[in-house]
């Protein structure tokens, strides 16, 4: 099978000036991700699991190491050295990052925020409308909430909206940073269902989950990070 | 568009400060020269929003003034996608024409962008007329259309902006700035000093314009929340220099420079 992502000797250190500290978070992390593979990252808290995902997504800059990603648009590209524009394009169309925190623009309704995501990948307005509704319904978000600003949503509702926003893009590579952290059992089942579906449709995934039962049978492989 | 080695200095300069030696902040103690901007460089693509942050006196506004030709830099190259050549070396006339046809500017202070004693219509139509749209019914139609975009009732098009609230004045400025479908939109502290709900309204309008018109935007603000919300990429300025640049979430979540760290950690 083809490799979609290959991380080699990834190192990440945070230099903080006030107070003066240097925090070494990742040291020589290497792994490969095959197409359609689901890799679970496990490790104690503070071991750098999220940092790996954030380096791949380029929220964190990488000082040493390579993150080779096979992009549709740019071919084999090292994300750690890619230009800002390339990263922006890849984020829009190819790689999605889902965390347990919802970040939405103020005064945008739940429906609009999912539609905007769909529009970013290049859907027409009608397509975006249809797929947004489909996603919101799939995640059992009550339809009377669709046209409300999500600030007042409950934790679980926000999370499901967050997932709907990312999933509507049908990303090629999905980075999941504990997206089920505050969900009840039923909602977790839904999330699991859509992850399986996306995975079958061809998406590759890297996920961090606290819930080991949730990971069981979902991930093809796990990567164990030890605390430094 | 791209800007390179943009430098603005007030004073004659001496051999020390020209090589960046012994500057106290951006002032040379030996000859008294102020380096308002020093070797600033960035590029901007269609449909992209570039955020510019920095404390007051860091050179943000000077940079904007240079870009819209309000001020001539001491040094620098300014290449614009369609033009070719250095736009800083064009004649005043061509610069003015370029600004009218390709650029929109919204100032922090509406007094700078609007003529308060003229009607909203004549304010907005000013750039349209300058770029040779002289048909009155076309003008009126376009002004009505623009007012709808910025969510001001066309019934008020004959009123003078001095009777408008701050938020509305900002929106009139925005309507004026986008009248010619500019390629570049410069927004200088557009939401500063407005109360929260009015600020939200202005931001709504800006978001709409970014989404629908594929314009390149430079957004100067000291409000990090605004930058976080709108900008794709961000540059951080300090004492006339760009000290950090990157994707907005990189700058916010993994700031490298001590000043940026201090700034981000002060965010509420």
Q: Is B262 on the interface with A (CB under 8 A)?
A: yes
Question: How far is the C-alpha of B244 from the C-alpha of B242, rounded, in Å?
Answer: 6
Residue in B48, B229, B253 closest to A59 by CB: B253
* Phi, psi angles (nearest 5°) of residue B55: -75, 170
Query: If you average pLDDT over residues A127-131, what whole number do you get?
Result: 94
Does the interface ipTM go beyond 0.85?
A: yes
CA B12/CA B31 separation, integer angstroms: 8
> Using one digit for the tens of pLDDT, what is the confidence trace for B43-97?
998 889 999 998 888 889 899 999 989 889 998 988 886 566 888 888 888 888 8
- Subunit contact B250:A16, Cβ cutoff 8 A: no
- Phi and psi for B158 in degrees, rounded to 5? -95, -5
Give Cα A53 to chain centroid, integer Å. 8
Residues of B within 8 A of A106 (CB-CB) are 200, 203, 229
Cβ atoms of B245 and B41 within 8 Å: the answer is: no
Q: Is-contact A118 A132, C-beta < 8 A?
A: yes
Q: How far B23 CA sits from the closest chain A CA (Å)?
A: 22
Structure tokens at B166: 């701050």
Compute the half-sphere exposure of residue B140: CA atoms within 13 Å on the CB side of its CA.
5
DSSP state at residue B153: -
Taking an 8 Å cut-off on Cβ atoms, the answer to whether B229 and A105 are in contact is yes
Each residue's pLDDT tens digit, A131-141:
999 999 988 88
Q: Using CB atoms, which residue from B45, B211, B254 is nearest to A61? A: B254
Judged by a CB distance cut-off of 8 A, whether residue B207 touches chain A is: yes
Q: What is the pLDDT of residue A176?
A: 92
C-beta neighbour count of B130 within 10 angstroms: 15
**Chain A contact set for B233 (CB, 8 A):** 84, 88
CA A197 to chain centre: 16
Q: Which pLDDT score is estimated for A227?
A: 67
Residue A155 pLDDT exceeds 90: no
B233 touches chain A (CB under 8 A): yes
* Token pair recorded at residue B198: 């009015």
What is the per-residue pLDDT across B176-232, written as a single tens digit (0 to 9) for each?
Answer: 999 988 999 999 988 887 888 888 888 888 888 888 888 999 999 888 888 998 999
Residues of chain A contacting B262 with CB distance shorter than 8 Å: 17-18
H-type alpha helices, chain B:
15-18, 60-67, 92-102, 110-113, 120-130, 136-149, 166-177, 196-213, 224-230, 248-253, 258-265
Interface test with A, best of B42, B47, B250 (most A CBs within 10 A): B250
Q: In this predicted structure, what is the pLDDT of residue B200?
A: 83
> What's the pTM value of the predicted model, to 2 decimals?
0.89
Please report the pLDDT score of residue A45 as a whole number.
84
Tell me whether residues B249 and A59 touch, CB distance under 8 A.
yes
> Which residues partner with A14 through β-bridges?
A23
**d(Cα A8, Cα A81) in Å, to the nearest integer?**
13
The verdict on a CB contact (< 8 Å) between A84 and B246 is: yes
pLDDT digits (tens, 9 = 90+) for B150-190: 888 999 999 999 999 888 999 999 999 999 889 999 999 88
- Please give the pLDDT value at position B235: 95
Identify the closest residue of chain B to A104 by CA–CA distance: B229
Cβ(A94)–Cβ(A77) under 8 Å? Answer: no
Nearest in space to B221 (alpha carbons), one of B103, B51, B63, B62: B51
Interface of A with B in 76-105 (CB under 8 A): 84-85, 87-88, 105
Residues in chain A closer than 8 A to B256 (CB atoms): 15, 61
* Of B45, B19, B9, B31, the residue nearest B184 (C-alpha): B45
Q: B254 in contact with A at a CB cutoff of 8 Å? A: yes
For an interface test with B, give the residue of A26, A51, A85 to mutate (most B CBs within 10 A).
Answer: A85
A39: alpha, beta or left, given left = phi > 0 and alpha = psi -120 to 50? Answer: beta
Question: Per-residue pLDDT averaged across B121-125, rounded?
Answer: 92
- Average of per-residue pLDDT across A90-112: 86
């Amino acid at each position: 099978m083809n490799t979609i992502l290959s991380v080699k000797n990834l190192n990440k250190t945070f230099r903080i000036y006030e107070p003066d500290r240097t925090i070494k978070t990742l040291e020589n992390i290497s792994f490969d991700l095959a197409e359609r593979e689901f890799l679970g990252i496990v490790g104690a808290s503070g071991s750098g699991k999220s940092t790996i995902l954030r380096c791949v997504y380029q929220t964190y800059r990488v000082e040493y190491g390579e993150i080779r990603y096979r992009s549709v648009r740019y071919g084999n590209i090292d994300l750690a050295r890619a230009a800002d524009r390339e990263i922006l394009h890849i984020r829009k169309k190819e790689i999605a990052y889902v965390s347990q925190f919802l970040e939405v623009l103020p005064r945008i309704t739940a429906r609009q925020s999912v539609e905007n995501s769909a529009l970013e990948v290049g859907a027409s307005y009608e397509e975006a409308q249809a797929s947004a509704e489909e996603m919101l319904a799939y995640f059992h978000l009550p339809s009377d909430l669709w046209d409300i600003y999500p600030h007042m949503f409950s934790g679980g509702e926000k999370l499901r909206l967050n997932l709907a926003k990312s999933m509507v893009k049908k990303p090629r590579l999905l980075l999941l940073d504990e997206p089920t952290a505050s969900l009840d059992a039923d909602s977790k089942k839904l999330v699991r269902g859509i992850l399986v579906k996306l995975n079958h449709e061809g998406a590759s995934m890297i996920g961090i989950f606290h819930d080991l039962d949730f990971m069981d049978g979902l991930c093809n492989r796990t990567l164990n990070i030890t605390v430094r | 568009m791209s800007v390179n080695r943009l430098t603005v200095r007030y004073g004659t300069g001496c051999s020390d400060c020209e090589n960046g030696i012994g500057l106290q902040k951006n002032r040379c103690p030996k000859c008294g020269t102020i380096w308002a901007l020093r070797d600033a460089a960035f590029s901007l693509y269609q449909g992209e929003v570039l955020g510019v942050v920095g404390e007051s006196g860091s050179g943000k506004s000077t940079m904007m003034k240079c870009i819209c030709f309000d001020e001539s830099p001491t040094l620098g190259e300014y290449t614009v996608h369609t033009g070719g050549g250095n736009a800083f070396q064009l004649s005043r006339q061509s610069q003015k024409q370029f600004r009218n046809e390709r650029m929109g500017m919204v100032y922090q202070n509406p007094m700078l962008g609007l003529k308060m004693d003229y009607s909203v219509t004549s304010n907005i139509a000013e750039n349209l007329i300058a770029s040779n749209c002289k048909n009155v019914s076309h003008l009126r139609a376009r002004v009505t259309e623009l007012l709808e975009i910025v969510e001001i009732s066309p019934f008020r098009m004959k009123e003078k902006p001095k009777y408008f609230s701050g938020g509305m004045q900002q929106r009139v400025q925005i309507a004026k700035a986008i009248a010619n479908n500019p390629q570049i939109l410069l927004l200088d502290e557009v939401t500063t000093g407005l109360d929260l709900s009015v600020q939200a309204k202005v931001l709504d309008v800006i978001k709409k314009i970014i989404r629908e018109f594929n314009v390149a935007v430079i957004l100067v603000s000291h409000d990090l929340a605004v930058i976080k919300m709108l900008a794709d990429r961000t540059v951080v300025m300090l004492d006339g220099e760009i000290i950090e640049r990157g994707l907005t979430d990189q700058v916010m979540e993994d700031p490298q420079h001590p000043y940026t760290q201090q700034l981000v950690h002060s965010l509420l």
